[in-house]
Every structure is written in structure tokens, then in C-alpha cells.
Amino acid sequence: MANYEDIFKKVVSHAKEYGYVFQSSEIYDGLAAAYDYGPNGVELKNNIKNYWWKSMVNMHENIVGLDSSIFMHPTTWKASGHIDAFNDPLVDNKDSKKRYRADVLIEDHIAKIEAKIDKDCVKAAKRFGDAFNREEFVTTNGRILDRQKQIDAINEKMNTSLSSGDLEGVKALIEELDIKCPVSGTNNWTDVRQFNLMFKTQMGATADGASDLYLRPETAQGIFVNFLNVQKTARMKIPFGIAQIGKAFRNEIVARQFIFRMREFEQMEMQFFVRPGEEMKWYDYWKEFRMKWHNSLAMGEENYRFHDHENLAHYANAAADIEFKFPFGFKELEGIHSRTDFDLKAHQEHSGKKLQYFDPEIGESYVPYVVETSIGLDRMFLTVLSHSFREEQLENGESRVVLKIPALLAPLKAAILPLTKKDGMPEKAREIMKSLQVDFNCQYEEKDSIGKRYRRQDAIGTPYCITVDHQTLENNTVTLRDRDTMIQERVSVEKLHSIIAEKVNIAKYLA
């Protein structure tokens, strides 16, 4: 088994063991692609939401929030194009009866060629030693150039077929590349068909079809239909943004990789309304701003990259993904899309209500253009979890599992541990707990040896352990242990609050 699969499996079981993520309805053998967040998971999720909201809404005078409903008038989805075009191409293997997304099969094939390039580089790096220059090698080595040419040709064919709706072309490409089903090992494929990703349901007691509803597949449309409500009541002037965090639902054909692709998930979206013609300026601005936000968490700049879209969605005139290096490779974490005036215009036409803005600076009314930033909260959660997970060999020969979660996002900020259950230590520890818990999520723990308790807090990712011992009762000092360095210092109880506050200072992260 490849090493990354091993690590990913460990992350998934760690997430369960330490109360981060459970399979939904586990006692009934689970429901595919639905997950529940446990006590530590919900804290991490809330902290991510809060960090995003602070940066996007509270730190921008011209961005305000919204919480729109999941159910929307069904015409919303006609107008947005989701009923007609929110499809994925699916294909079945006739032997294994397994279903795949056709574009993902092709992308996986490309990933295999990319892996070969990586392998060539590793070999060359060994051969050339310090003199190895990857950039130069990949742009001059004949074999690698051939492989890159193959990738470019496949991408071009796939994008041409997908954007023109040529499903036969997609199938022909799968056959030409001789892509085989990982389960049956055969290339016996059905035709490629379109599959709509929206979940349908009904409202009220009638079953006559008039009340067919959809669970929203994105939060954005709730923002569009409220554009004028928000603009008028919050007295916003263009350019301005509306942000929203909420659930979205997609009937994904193949849902896999844990919380990476779910059928019920949560999005953090912001629609930024701009003057027509200024959208590219703002598109560039938000691309940079969002990348900066990711980098502020210090999870390695080399783990993020932009991927500019060639195959644009029906509403966009420019689009890029921010990809993160998950254990299974670089994959989309966030999308930044220039959505033109497509959505507002479509809602204007379908509702018969004007969705325009009078721009006092130029004395004109227009339908604004929109630049959107859209990040999956669950994918961000997986980013943090998978990047933080470490198995470390210690100098004393022991090993530990630690989640090096950025302190600001960690579910617990400190654990307060009386050395023993007697001599007034628990009482003192509880007193310390009381003084910290209003501002920081803390845990009091007195069971097991102190070493075991340290390990448990490492595995949860708690930045600080505070140990109360005999000396504490004499001079009001405690041992403060740092999760990452494992260094223990003696500090005065009065200083604890400011030390933790400094560590999780949001202003410092956002600076």
C-alpha cells in the first residue's frame, strides 16, 4: 500500500478516536458521504468559521453577512442554470457495475502520469545530488517533456469535449487512453451520461409536482436573491460583498476520500458586487487575498497552488481554484470565480423584479458584476487535520502522535491537570480553570498518569498543558508544557491568561 494511503487511513481513524469526525448513522452501518462532527470536531469547525468570518466580514467595512434558508423558490434553480446544467458526466463499468465520474477517471489517469514525472525527478535528484535543479530538469529532459505533452493533449481533449457537451468524445477519450476500472480491471464502459447533482424533495402535503423543491447545491443563490434587500437595508455602496456560511447538498456520483467529497457539506461563500468592467481587478484582488488568508495559518506555502480553469462553468468568465496538498495529492480547496452579471440578470428575468444598482458616482444604473470566493468548510477542516497529523519519534525512544493544529484553531487551548487527586490540587486546578474558561476552551483532567494525559492532549492538539503540583500551592506557579516543543516551564498562575491570549491572538494571525 502506498504510504499516503496509510497516512490518510491513520488520519481518518484518529479523527474518530479523538472525537473529531464520526460516520453518520454509524450504528446502522453508516450513510455514505455523510459525517457527524464530535466534541472536538465541532470546536475546530467553529474556530475555522470564526476565523473566516473575522477576516471576510468583520475586517471589511464593505462586507456584511447573511443567513438565508436552504429551501428556496424552485424557479431560483431554473434561473441559476442548475436544473439544466448542474450535471456531472457519469460512466459505469459493465463488469464491476461500479459508477464513476468520467472526468475524474481521466484526471486520475493524468495524475498517474504526473506521478511518473515526480518519480523521474526523485531519481535524477539522487543521481545529481546538490547540483539538481528541478525547474531546469522538467523543462529540458526529453522523457519528461514527452510526458508533459501527453498531459496537455489529454487535458485539451477533455476540456473541449466537456465544454461542448460532447459526451461521446469523453467516452472516446477514456477508450483511447485505455482507462480500466480499478475494481474489475476491464475497459468495458457504458456510454457517458449527464447526471444532475441536485437533491429533490417536496414541500407540503400535495404530491402534484407544483411544490417540488431542491436542497440548495450552493449558498450563493440565497445571496443573489437578497442582493437588493441587503444593499438597501445595510446601505451598501458598490463595491461591496455579502458573506454567508451554510449547508449545501449535492448528490455526488462518487463520494469518497472521507470529508473531502460529501453529499451534505458546508460552504463559506462571499459574493462581491462590482461595477461592470472592474471584475478582473477584483478577481485578482480576491485571489491574492484568499491565498494570504490560507498562508496566515502557516501550514506551508508550498502546500498551496492556484489552478486556473480552462473549462469554465456556464456563469463564469474567469475561475481559479486554490488547491491544497492533501495526503492524496493537490486538490481543490477553494474556488474564486468571476461570475459576471449572469446570476443577477437571470433572477431579474425570471422574477420580473429589477436587480439593479444606481451608481451615484457615474450617475448610471446597472446590474453589478460578481466575484465570488467559495470555500468548503469541511475541506478546510480536512486541510487542517491532515496537515497537523504527525507521528514523532522522541529522543527517549518513545513515539507520540500529535496534532499540530494552528493554536488559534485548536479545539482546546489548554488542559489543566492536577498532578494528583489530593492535597488541594484539584481545587486549585479548578480555580485556574475558572479563570481561563470564559476566554479559552479548556479541559480539566485528573485521570491517569501525567505522561498519559500529556499524550492524550497531544493527540487532541491542545497547545498548552498546565500542571498543578505541590509547588503550586506554595508559590502559585504551575508547569506550562508546550505541545510542539514539549518544553516545560515554570510560570506564575497570574501570567497564564496573557500567555495563552498571545498565542491565539487573532490580530497577529491576520496581520
Question: Applying CB under 6 A, which residues contact ligand ATP?
Answer: 250, 252, 261-262, 265, 267, 332-335, 374-376, 378-379
Q: 167-176 and 142-163 helices cross at what angle (nearest 10)? A: 160
Rounded to the nearest whole angstrom, what is the least distance from the CB of residue 237 to ligand ATP in the complex?
27
Q: What is residue 442's three-state secondary structure?
A: strand
Of all residues in the shown chain, the one whose CB is closest to ligand ATP is 376
Rounded to the nearest whole angstrom, what is the least distance from the CB of residue 205 to ligand ATP in the complex?
31
Angle at 68 between CA 66 and CA 71, to 5 degrees: 170
Closer residue to ligand ATP in complex, CB, 267/467: 267
Element (H, E) at 315: none
Q: Exposed, middle or buried: residue 470 (CB in 10 Å: 0-12, 13-18, 19+)?
A: exposed
Closer residue to ligand ATP in complex, CB, 331/453: 331
Closer residue to ligand ATP in complex, CB, 265/286: 265
- State how far Cα 46 lies from the chain centre: 13
Rounded to the nearest whole angstrom, what is the least distance from the CB of residue 198 to ligand ATP in the complex?
12
Nearest Cα to Cα of residue 253 among 301, 194, 302, 295 = 194
Closer residue to ligand ATP in complex, CB, 242/500: 242
Nearest Cα to Cα of residue 6 among 458, 255, 328, 302 = 328
Rounded to the nearest whole angstrom, what is the least distance from the CB of residue 410 to ligand ATP in the complex?
22
* Structural contact between residues 72 and 81, judged by C-beta atoms closer than 8 angstroms: no
Closer residue to ligand ATP in complex, CB, 267/462: 267
Rounded to the nearest whole angstrom, what is the least distance from the CB of residue 293 to ligand ATP in the complex?
14
Which residues have CB under 8 Å from 482's CB, separation 6+?
A: 463, 464, 488
Closer residue to ligand ATP in complex, CB, 100/454: 100
Rounded to the nearest whole angstrom, what is the least distance from the CB of residue 306 to ligand ATP in the complex?
13
Rounded to the nearest whole angstrom, what is the least distance from the CB of residue 252 to ligand ATP in the complex?
5
Closer residue to ligand ATP in complex, CB, 66/333: 333
Q: How far is CA 231 from CA 242, 279, 366, in A?
A: 9, 18, 14
Q: Which residues of 372-383 are buried (b: 16+ CB within 10 A; e: fewer)?
A: bbbbbbbbbbbb
